[in-house]
Amino acid sequence: MAIRPITEYPEGVLAKVGKPVTEFDEKLKELCDDMFETMYNDEGVGLAAPQIGINLRLFVMDCDGVKLVAANPEIIETSGEQSGPEGCLSLEKIPAVLPRPNFAKLRAQDLEGKWFEKEAEGYAARCFLHETDHCDGKLFIDHLPKMRREMIIKKFKKEKKLR
Ligand code: NI
């Protein structure tokens, strides 16, 4: 197991649609172990492969009691609405309030390649949506109006300089 460096905005891989996961082997398990370790090390609740520079449709999460690996994730159902702060390890966790559906149903493959469906509400649903977005080359700030998006980017650049 190893902690991998986090890929940060505006690295190109974060804006790319990920390639499908096709090999459900030992290498994938090791990659997911590293992703969990990297995520916990940064006190995150979810981490997608592009965030460690790997252009794959894959994420791990441990959020609000929902711990899973999702390969080739899709959101197949959403409903309701929630509003709350959201942040991203690729943007120094700078929070922005973002409305999201309150319920989401995820369809994905596990480490063995078996398809599963999982429903979540609230924070865990937000995590499903945020991480699946990463696999589609989308960041949470892409959902924000331009002015608010630019404000987050400005804050991020400032934080980077202070580090
Ligand atoms: Ni993120």
Structure confidence at residue 162 as a pLDDT band (50, 70, 90): confident
pLDDT value at 16 more than 90: yes
Taking CA atoms, 66 is separated from 11, 14, 99, 126, in Å, by: 29, 24, 21, 12
* pTM to 2 decimal places: 0.97
Q: How far is the CA of 63 from the centre of ligand 1 (A)?
A: 13
Domain extent at residue 156: 12-162
Q: Residue range 56-69: average pLDDT?
A: 98
Report yes or no on 3 lying in a domain: no
Q: How far is the CA of 32 from the centre of ligand 1 (A)?
A: 16
pLDDT value at 163 more than 80: no
| Residue 126: count of CB within 10 angstroms of its CB | 25
Q: What values do phi and psi take at 140, rounded to 5?
A: -60, -30
Q: Give residue 1's pLDDT.
A: 82
Q: How far is the CA of 87 from the centre of ligand 1 (A)?
A: 7
The model's pLDDT over 68-106, given as tens digits with 9 standing for 90+, comes to 999 999 999 999 999 999 999 999 999 999 999 999 999
Token representation of residue 130: 């945020």
Q: CATH code at 125?
A: 3.90.45.10
DSSP 124-137: HHHHHHHHHHHHTT
Q: Residue range 23-33: average pLDDT?
A: 98
Q: Give residue 102's pLDDT.
A: 98
Report yes or no on 153 lying in a domain: yes
Number of domains in the chain: 1
Q: Which residues are catalytic?
A: 131
Report yes or no on 154 lying in a domain: yes
Report yes or no on 145 lying in a domain: yes
